[in-house]
């Protein structure tokens, strides 16, 4: 199998890694990753031993084993504390990452981007300057959309603003004749390659991905997502989010776990109904649904960007159905099956073809190495008496 | 955060495995070992290729991975003190989390969600090089390894040669 072009990998929508020559950035990049899900922290929390994980990850893990996944120290759910500093760091890093990726790219690419001529001369009118972060654009189509947070002043009045301003202007002149606009990362600008308009912060990633249509890029953009979440959240607080019309507000308070062993299916259904969740299924289904809901719900209280209850419900439904799909692939059964001799034999029989193929591949590879004469004994791992 | 849109469409287990697969692809473990999904539509079943006479291990993942460990099976079964006669690998890092009732191995050696394919394959490599006969899976094989190592080695060679049809 070709390791680099697996179709399942195409599903991962990922930002590019830092080049190898920046080990310190790679380390920083790794340090905001949860060791359970291997993704940047979402709603990070700390536990008694000092290790931090996504709230959802550690809550799920503690349901299985009451130990820290990293150091195996005993740990209970009661010791989970929100880690606001880590959340801020993760958010800030997420925001700066595209910029840093851009800065670490090899020089030739950035110059070629810079040298693009500005197609619209009138965009100069909207340009302003100030002691804010500079983002270069070539101005096309962005004039009306760009919003400047700086107290924008016409260029002509700049003279009165002192030396600092003069110095900056000099710098500008040393560079090419581009338009320079004061923009924040959330402002929109056209991609220098395909001219599609999108938030500036997502342009480097967009280029890195080979300029896909901007719609998907927008979806990925964190800022846009947060905006929606905020309005969704407002809806929840004003009661609109609770679609069932029961007139019963869901309290935004941590849910205490019921005793699943003692709870009757009717009780589980009643609790699920309180949160407008589906009540179909037998006891194990109800239990795992409620368990997962409590994890999602409680984890949602550990973040400054909480999801709406309806989004949480959708997440629960999706997770339940994807887990069902996984189960249908028969793997859980297979694991049990592998424990028995007959099951193992059946499995071995089914996989015989693949084994033969791999065997052939490895033998060919070894033969190739031998003929190349570069084989260093160690590589020639197959010993023949 | 990147990829929230796709996160919703794949299960936690699949997503985490995609991550691991991508990382293994980007940064291969060693020259001697590779691993990846068997088929294109299922992340929950992998095959690994360990260069040398060890056959092909298959990795089968539970749907609640990484909360619970995967199973690793050598096909065909390999003669080794820590591999059951049916090919299933017995290694502490692949045992479910929590203490075992016999206190045979400490919890620190067992599976936890921070482990992954990479760390397990590394452990298996060292297990292959140095069998642990104190917690053997194949008792007969353990005895043989302890009491008559030359005979053990001869039988392994014989098995491997048969396997490869040499």
Pick the CATH number of A14-97 from 3.30.40.10, 3.40.50.720, 3.40.50.460, 3.20.20.70: 3.30.40.10
Residue A182 clears pLDDT 70, i.e. is over it: no
A322 interfacial to chain B (CB closer than 8 Å): yes
Q: Residue A67 forms beta bridges with which residues?
A: A74
Question: What's chain B's Rg over C-alpha atoms?
Answer: 17
Element (H, E) at A206: helix A203-208
Among A302-306, A326-330, A335-339, the minimum mean pLDDT is found in A335-339
C-alpha A227/C-alpha A225 separation (Å) is 5
**Residue recorded with tokens 């100069």:** A124
**Residue recorded with tokens 């880590």:** A86
Element (H, E) at A180: strand A180-182
Cβ-count burial A207-225 (b if 16+ within 10 Å, e if not): bebebeebeebbebbbebb
Confidence at residue A160, expressed as pLDDT on a 0 to 100 scale: 45
Task: Check if B90 is active-site.
Answer: yes
Confidence at residue A362, expressed as pLDDT on a 0 to 100 scale: 63
Tokens (6 digits) for A31: 């340090």
Question: Prior bond to B66 cis, omega within 30?
Answer: yes
C-alpha A47/C-alpha A70 separation (Å) is 11
Tokens (6 digits) for A363: 């033998």
Nearest beta carbon to residue B49 from set A60, A94, A358: A358
Tokens (6 digits) for A56: 């959802």
Among A107-121, A257-271, B80-94, the minimum mean pLDDT is found in A107-121
pLDDT, average across residues A125-131: 40
According to DSSP, residue A15 is labeled: P
Confidence at residue A366, expressed as pLDDT on a 0 to 100 scale: 65
Confidence at residue A153, expressed as pLDDT on a 0 to 100 scale: 41
Decide if A62 contacts A79 (C-beta within 8 A). Answer: no
pLDDT, average across residues A249-278: 87
B71 interfacial to chain A (CB closer than 8 Å): yes
From the CA of A323, how many Å to the nearest CA of chain B?
A: 6
Collapse the DSSP code of B83 into the 3-class scheme (helix H, G, I; strand E, B; otherwise coil) and give the result: strand
pLDDT, average across residues A376-385: 40
Q: What is the pLDDT of residues A149-165, one digit of tens each?
A: 444 444 444 444 444 44
Give chain B's mean pLDDT: 78
ipTM of the complex: 0.75
Give the pLDDT band (50/70/90) at residue A212: low
C-alpha A90/C-alpha A81 separation (Å) is 16
Which residue has better confidence, A129 or B19? B19
Confidence at residue B3, expressed as pLDDT on a 0 to 100 scale: 40
From the CA of A113, how many Å to the nearest CA of chain B?
A: 24
Nearest beta carbon to residue A335 from set B9, B15, B62: B62
Q: Do B157 and A383 touch (CB under 8 A)?
A: yes
Confidence at residue A91, expressed as pLDDT on a 0 to 100 scale: 93
pLDDT, average across residues A40-56: 94
Residue A291 clears pLDDT 80, i.e. is over it: yes
pLDDT, average across residues A169-188: 53
Q: What is the pLDDT of residues A201-210, one digit of tens each?
A: 777 777 666 6
Confidence at residue A36, expressed as pLDDT on a 0 to 100 scale: 92
Q: In this structure, what CATH number is given to the domain that contains residue B12? A: 3.10.110.10
Chain A positions touching B44 (Cβ under 8 A) are 326, 329, 331
Tokens (6 digits) for B46: 């992998």
C-alpha A101/C-alpha A205 separation (Å) is 8
Confidence at residue A72, expressed as pLDDT on a 0 to 100 scale: 85
Collapse the DSSP code of A373 into the 3-class scheme (helix H, G, I; strand E, B; otherwise coil) and give the result: coil
Give the pLDDT band (50/70/90) at residue A41: very high
Q: Do B113 and A57 touch (CB under 8 A)?
A: yes
Confidence at residue A150, expressed as pLDDT on a 0 to 100 scale: 42
Distances (CA, A) of A280 to A62, A96, A361, B62: 26, 45, 50, 24
B23 interfacial to chain A (CB closer than 8 Å): yes
C-alpha A345/C-alpha B76 separation (Å) is 9
Give the pLDDT band (50/70/90) at residue A344: low
Which residue has better confidence, B33 or B126? B126
Residue A218 clears pLDDT 90, i.e. is over it: no
Confidence at residue A377, expressed as pLDDT on a 0 to 100 scale: 40
Give the pLDDT band (50/70/90) at residue A147: very low
Give chain B's domain count. 1
Which residue has better confidence, A141 or A337? A337
Comparing CA positions, the residue from B102, B114, B10, B25 lying closest to residue A47 is B114
Closest chain B CA to residue A37: B16
Among A110-114, A306-310, B130-134, the minimum mean pLDDT is found in A110-114
Q: What are phi and psi of B47, to 5 degrees?
A: -120, 150
Chain A positions touching B37 (Cβ under 8 A) are 1, 6, 8
Question: Prior bond to A273 cis, omega within 30?
Answer: no
Residue A46 clears pLDDT 90, i.e. is over it: yes
Q: What are phi and psi of A198, to 5 degrees?
A: -160, 165
- Give rounded-to-5 percent helix, strand, coil for chain A: 50, 5, 40
Residue A354 clears pLDDT 70, i.e. is over it: no
Residue A80 clears pLDDT 50, i.e. is over it: yes
Which residue has better confidence, A59 or B135? A59
Residue A361 clears pLDDT 70, i.e. is over it: no
List the 29-68 stretch of A: residues with Cβ below 8 A of B: 35-40, 42, 57, 60-61, 63-65, 67
Residue extents of the structural domains in chain A = 14-97, 134-150+173-201+210-220, 230-329, 342-372
Give the pLDDT band (50/70/90) at residue A342: low
Which residue has better confidence, B6 or A335? A335
C-alpha A36/C-alpha B111 separation (Å) is 12
Q: Do A319 and B11 touch (CB under 8 A)?
A: yes
Q: Which domain holds residue B80?
A: 4-164
C-alpha B74/C-alpha B86 separation (Å) is 8
C-alpha A346/C-alpha B143 separation (Å) is 29
Nearest beta carbon to residue B2 from set A1, A220, A331: A220
Interface probe with B: pick from A1, A5, A8, most Cβ of B within 10 Å: A8
Cβ-count burial A109-118 (b if 16+ within 10 Å, e if not): eeeebeeeee
A357 interfacial to chain B (CB closer than 8 Å): no
Q: What is the pLDDT of residues B142-164, one digit of tens each?
A: 888 888 888 888 888 887 777 66
Q: What is the pLDDT of residues B52-69, one digit of tens each?
A: 655 678 888 888 888 989
Tokens (6 digits) for B161: 């040669």
Decide if B102 contacts B92 (C-beta within 8 A). Answer: no
Residue B37 clears pLDDT 70, i.e. is over it: yes
C-alpha A265/C-alpha A255 separation (Å) is 18
Q: What pTM, to 2 d.p., does this model score?
A: 0.60
Q: Do A205 and B164 touch (CB under 8 A)?
A: no
State which of A188-192, A338-342, A369-373, B99-103 shows the largest mean pLDDT.
A188-192
Residue B12 clears pLDDT 80, i.e. is over it: yes
Among A23-37, A39-53, A121-135, A260-274, the minimum mean pLDDT is found in A121-135
C-alpha B11/C-alpha A326 separation (Å) is 8
Residue A134 clears pLDDT 60, i.e. is over it: no
Distances (CA, A) of A106 to A74, A100, A103, A109, A136: 47, 12, 8, 6, 17
Interface probe with B: pick from A2, A5, A6, A379, most Cβ of B within 10 Å: A6
Residue A85 clears pLDDT 90, i.e. is over it: yes
């Amino acid at each position: 199998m070709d390791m680099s072009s697996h179709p399942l990998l195409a599903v991962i929508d990922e930002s590019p890694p830092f080049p190898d020559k920046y080990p310190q950035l790679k380390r920083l990049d790794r340090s905001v990753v949860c060791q359970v899900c291997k993704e940047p922290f979402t709603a990070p929390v700390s536990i008694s031993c000092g290790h931090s994980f996504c709230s959802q990850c550690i809550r799920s893990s503690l349901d299985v084993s009451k130990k820290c996944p990293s150091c195996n120290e005993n740990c209970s759910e009661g010791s989970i504390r929100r880690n606001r500093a880590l959340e801020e760091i993760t958010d800030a890093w997420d925001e700066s990452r595209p910029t840093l990726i851009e800065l670490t790219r090899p020089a030739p690419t950035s110059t070629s981007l810079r040298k693009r001529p500005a197609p619209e001369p009138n965009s100069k009118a909207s340009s302003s300057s100030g002691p804010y972060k500079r983002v270069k654009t070539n101005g096309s189509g962005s004039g009306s959309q760009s919003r400047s947070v700086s107290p924008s002043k016409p260029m002509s009045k700049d003279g009165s603003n002192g030396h600092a301003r003069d110095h900056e202007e000099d710098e500008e002149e040393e560079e090419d004749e581009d338009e320079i606009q004061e923009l924040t990362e959330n402002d929109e600008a056209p991609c220098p390659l395909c001219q599609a308009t999108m938030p500036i912060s997502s342009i480097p990633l967009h280029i890195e991905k080979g300029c896909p249509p901007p719609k998907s890029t927008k979806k990925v953009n964190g800022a846009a997502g947060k905006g929606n979440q905020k309005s969704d959240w407002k809806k929840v607080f004003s009661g609109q989010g609770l679609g069932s019309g029961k007139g019963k507000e869901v309290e935004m308070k941590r849910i205490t776990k019921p005793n699943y062993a003692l709870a009757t299916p009717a009780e589980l259904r009643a609790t699920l109904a309180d949160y407008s969740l589906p009540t179909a299924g037998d006891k194990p289904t109800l239990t795992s649904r409620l368990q997962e809901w409590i994890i999602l719900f409680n984890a949602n209280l550990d973040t400054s960007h909480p999801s709406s209850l309806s989004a949480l419900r959708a997440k629960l439904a999706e997770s339940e159905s994807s887990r069902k799909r996984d189960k249908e692939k028969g793997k859980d059964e297979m694991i049990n099956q592998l424990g028995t001799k007959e099951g193992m034999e059946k499995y071995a029989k089914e996989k015989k073809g693949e084994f033969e193929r791999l065997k052939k591949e490895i033998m060919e590879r070894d033969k190739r190495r031998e003929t190349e004469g570069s084989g260093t004994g160690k590589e020639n791992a197959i010993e023949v008496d | 955060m990147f990829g929230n849109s796709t996160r919703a469409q794949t299960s936690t287990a699949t997503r985490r495995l995609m991550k691991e697969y991508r990382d293994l692809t980007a940064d291969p473990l060693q020259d001697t070992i590779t691993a990846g999904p068997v088929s294109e539509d299922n992340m929950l079943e992998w095959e690994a290729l360990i260069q040398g006479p060890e056959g092909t291990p298959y990795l089968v993942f539970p749907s609640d991975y990484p909360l619970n460990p995967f199973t690793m099976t050598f096909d065909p079964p390999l003669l080794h003190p820590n591999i059951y006669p049916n090919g299933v690998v017995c290694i502490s890092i692949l045992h479910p989390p929590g203490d075992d009732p016999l206190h045979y191995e400490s919890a620190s050696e067992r599976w936890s969600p921070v482990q992954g394919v990479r760390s397990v394959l590394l452990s298996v490599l060292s297990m292959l090089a140095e069998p642990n006969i104190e917690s053997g899976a194949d008792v007969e094989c353990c005895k043989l390894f302890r009491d008559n190592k030359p005979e053990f080695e001869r039988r392994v060679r014989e098995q491997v040669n048969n396997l490869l049809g040499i």
